Structure 1
Amino acid sequence: MTGYSIVIPTTGRDNLHALLDDLRQGENPLLKEIIVVDDRPKAPQRARELRVEGARVLVSGGRGPAAARNTGWLAAATEWIAFLDDDVRVSPRWHADLVADIADQPADVGASQAEITVPLSEDRKPTDDERGTAALAKARWITADMAYRREALLAVGGFDERFPRAYREDADLALRVREAGYRIVRGQRVTVHPARQAGPLASLRAQRGNADNALMRRKHGRAWRRKVGEGPGRLGRHALTTISGVTALAALTARRRPVALAAAAAWTVLTAEFAARRIAPGPKTAGEIGRMLLTSVLIPPAACAHRIAGEAKARRTKPPGQPVPPAAILFDRDDTLIVDVPYLGDPERVRPVPGAEEILTLLRKAGIPVGVVSNQSGVSRGLITEQDVEAVNAKVEQVLGPFGTWQVCVHGDDDRCSCRKPAPGLILRAAEALGVQVRECVVIGDTGADVDAAEAAGAVGILVPTARTLPEEVERARLVAPNLREAVRLAGVR
């Protein structure tokens, strides 16, 4: 085992710093880094406000926990990635227990699940919110604490970002990892998930998850609940309750009194049964009973409405083979796509590196935009002209096919421009030209300047070393691949 990284998506909850304090108390030499992914909508500005000692902070733009976790694990360079939610707590033994859970696992083990405990009050019965949190202790594969082998994540493309909430995205990933031939084992480490106090209408807001259930059914078939270890759910009863209520109102409007009374009686019995089932296990306080009565009336139609909307959306969406491909891949030119000739100005000397043509064909067939970002300081030195650079680039396209954008810096080190790598200018301009978010781009190059430029822009950088690459550049790079094929694989393209 070469090491592990920890990825924590966050929306800025106060518990994040308590969790980081927990992790710092139990440091392990195999821990390579902690990556905190700020998923607040105004993350680029707010990231400056997020003071996180001892961790790297990335941003994911408020796209949900699935996208945040993808941002994190794609930036990690270790064999294993441990996902933690920002509202959990761990003991000083957690690192050692994690290593014991994942070290020496056979190659067919793709993930390890922790034991989740939810402490509840011993002086009273749990509220509806607390019972909801306590159910996590029995759930399969929840990413409150799940460690995945990077190879397994690459095999399935990571989390499906069509799940916008912290709901079902973890079960979906686990099912796809198992379908890819990996086993998921249960580890011995223990993680504490404090009970939530989410407000009086939390159970009503939770009905949005019915839309995610529709996507699960679309992806994994009618038996998806059995696959994730759950019972049949209450959607059928909610539908019957809603139909009864609508029928009662329609019949009353049409002055069909007997039908209205019968439908209203059915609605009352179904609603009362639902409310009684929810009230019975909890504290019998006036506030809790009132909340259960109100939400028991509102939940059935809300659940049905979200499920109908989810079914419509799921049917319009074709399940992708790779849920998390990069929005674009940007390549350095010399020694990455073509054999390096210092200050190349002669198109006839263009020679592609081994595998470049094959990889570019693969990416184009997959519909992934490709571009080139290249420093050409020979122009500022007077060794070649801009026309020479254009002629060479035209030859590269003739040999390797078209690129969506060419971004070239002709300045030298003394020009102090914003485009010469390791500055981010070329990366930012390429993303803009391709019409994609820079944080969803991958940059592949052969020098530390390529990787540094990617990080400065907010993209993912992958180093493919050559004989000219300095040892310290290889040591500093977070993602290193032996060749272009493996670099593209690291980027999430199979």
Structure 2
Amino acid sequence: MVHPLQSLRYTIVIPTTGRAQLSMLLRALDGSHGPHPSAVIVVDDRPEGDPLALPEIRFPLRQVRSGGRGPAAARNVGWRLARTEWIAFLDDDVLTDVDWTQRLSEDLDGLGSGVAASVAKIVVPLAEDRRPTDDERDTLALTHARWITADMAYRRSALVEVGGFDERFPRAFREDADLALRVCQAGYRIAEGRRVTTHPARRGDFLASVRRQRGNADNALMRAKHGRHWRQLTGEGPGRLGRHALTTLAGAAALGLLAAGRRRAAALAGGAWAGLTAQFAASRIAPGPRTPAEITRMAVTSALIPPAACAHRLRGELRAREPVAVLFDRDDTLIEDVPYLADPEQVRPMPGAHAALGALRDAGVLLGVVSNQSGVGRGYFTEDEVRRVNARVDELLGPFQTWQWCPHGPDDACACRKPKPGLVLRAAEALGVDVSRCVVVGDIGADVEAATAAGAKGILVPTRRTLPGEVERARREAAVAPDLPSAVRLAMEVL
């Protein structure tokens, strides 16, 4: 008997660093009652090592590598291999209930096209005979997170549209909130599902809370991308960075004044540091079990956390400062030109495209696509066919952080069709990049003209359909490169 929800196709993607809980999760999925996934893709994000020993399950199971680039990159590798409408992301240390596949299918069934994702409810089991430790409280915060990919399902088309996860987030922190914000900014909604997933409480070593301060660098990237009100957008509180900065400043002042021989002033600054540190430690000790070991740990790490937080935030601000982007035309620039291309199987990357794009990603450059697709307006193909072709390009050459395309014909008088600047301006806004810090690479004069009109820089890569006059004008007003790799090298020089 066919299950009534079996027509709903989904793939499960699990990024992993080889934790022991992964086998438990796979066995739990194997025993779950409900419509089965089309595939389970385990993405091994260890830099190296033998293939993971995975248990046999009744679902198609595939294991791939992502090279140790972090969970955002691992998830991108996984979902790009999937061919289903929905991608369900699970962390490798969660446990699903016996009816999880049934609940997931019910959560996704009937969601309208305006809904791009469904998020589960996360529960963290805690000991009933004592208060939670600092590590346990950190895990417990996941239950209040607005969007968390410990268990979250996305439409594949929405992931393609926004470019998937931003791989500049190197750890399991903020990459999920960033993706959700971008999906919402693209006009989609995120639904709250009824399925429940268990996330065991983490247990860290003595300095685990100090190492967690690395997330302040990711907070800097969130601020750069989404503005200073990003915490409100994600439903978070104000954070403690201001207090940490004050504590660190007081401690640094005390040391500096003492070195200068100003003992009284140093004592005052040292007293301020001690008072702020004691207040911070007390706020962490009070809700915990208050065992001698926990009190000692909170006292020591409360002195180390403020300077660590400030140092990581400064590092993040410097890295996120003035982001740059390269925006590519699609046809005859990234892929071979097929007139009014509607078949994803006909997508063929241009020579050198993969390596050239890889060099930009390695340099931390954001990537986007700006493309005229007048075939929609002319009735030659549908918007859905454009998305499928774009998805294939993204699979072969991605990730691209934004896709912007114009469906209008030449006579529609729109503001987006190149050589007008609309697509370039929209891409810059979607990426959170000043348009003057963008380079547009294309094969015809309209690409360069759109860049100039928007205030970006343009690079022309001539092909057989580029007019001689367009080349001469680009030489005078922009730049010309013989091929895509040369254009990328030139773009990195001018950015």
**Structure 1-normalised TM-score?**
0.68
Aligned to 2:431: none
* Deviation (angstroms), 1:318: 2.6
Aligned to 1:280: 286
Letter in 2 for 1:183: R
Tell me if the contact between 2:35 and 2:105 (Cα under 8 Å) persists in the aligned partners.
Answer: no
| Corresponding position: 1:488 with 2:390 | no
1:18-33 to 2 correspondence within 5 Å?
Answer: 18-26=24-32, 28-33=34-39
Aligned to 1:312: 318
Provide, for residues 109-132 of structure 1, a one-character-per-residue CA deviation record: whole Å limited to 9, x for no partner: 011110000000001111000010
1:110 corresponds to which of 110, 116, 124: 116
Tell me if the contact between 1:355 and 1:485 (Cα under 8 Å) persists in the aligned partners.
Answer: no
1:140 corresponds to which of 146, 154, 158: 146
**Alignment length (residue pairs):** 362
CA RMSD of superposed structures (Å): 3.0
1:67-466 to 2 correspondence within 5 Å?
Answer: 67-318=73-324, 353-355=338-340, 370-371=349-350, 403-404=351-352
1:46 corresponds to which of 28, 50, 54: 50
Tell me if the contact between 1:355 and 1:484 (Cα under 8 Å) persists in the aligned partners.
Answer: no
Tell me if the contact between 2:135 and 2:209 (Cα under 8 Å) persists in the aligned partners.
Answer: yes
- Partner secondary structure for residue 233 of structure 1: coil
1:62 corresponds to which of 68, 81, 89: 68
- Partner secondary structure for residue 321 of structure 2: helix
- Partner secondary structure for residue 257 of structure 2: helix
Letter in 2 for 1:46: D
* Deviation (angstroms), 1:259: 1.1
CA distance 1:305–1:222, change in 2 (3 Å): same
CA distance 1:229–1:321, change in 2 (3 Å): farther
| Corresponding position: 1:37 with 2:22 | no
Q: Give the gaps of 5 or more residues in structure 1.
A: 332-336, 338-351, 364-368, 372-402, 406-430, 441-479
Tell me if the contact between 2:27 and 2:55 (Cα under 8 Å) persists in the aligned partners.
Answer: no
Provide, for residues 252-275 of structure 1, a one-character-per-residue CA deviation record: whole Å limited to 9, x for no partner: 111112211110110011000000
- Partner secondary structure for residue 135 of structure 1: helix
Letter in 1 for 2:305: I
Please give the alpha-carbon distance, in whole angstroms, between the structure 1 residues aligned to 2:96 and 2:391: 35
Provide, for residues 273-306 of structure 1, a one-character-per-residue CA deviation record: whole Å limited to 9, x for no partner: 0000000011111110000000000000000000
Letter in 2 for 1:488: V
Provide, for residues 438-490 of structure 1, a one-character-per-residue CA deviation record: whole Å limited to 9, x for no partner: xx9xxxxxxxxxxxxxxxxxxxxxxxxxxxxxxxxxxxxxxx99985663366
**Structure 2-normalised TM-score?**
0.68
Please give the alpha-carbon distance, in whole angstroms, between the structure 2 residues aligned to 1:321 and 1:188: 40
Give the greater-gyration-radius structure (CA).
1
CA distance 1:272–1:321, change in 2 (3 Å): farther
* Deviation (angstroms), 1:50: 3.3
Please give the alpha-carbon distance, in whole angstroms, between the structure 2 residues aligned to 1:53 and 1:370: 37
Please give the alpha-carbon distance, in whole angstroms, between the structure 1 residues aligned to 2:112 and 2:252: 56
Please give the alpha-carbon distance, in whole angstroms, between the structure 2 residues aligned to 1:305 and 1:312: 11
* Deviation (angstroms), 1:105: 0.3
1:9 corresponds to which of 15, 18, 40: 15
Letter in 1 for 2:53: L
Tell me if the contact between 1:113 and 1:141 (Cα under 8 Å) persists in the aligned partners.
Answer: yes
Identity percentage of aligned residues: 57
CA distance 1:482–1:304, change in 2 (3 Å): closer
Letter in 1 for 2:56: E
Letter in 2 for 1:370: P
Moved over 2 A (4+): 27-30, 49-54, 316-322, 352-359, 433-437, 480-494
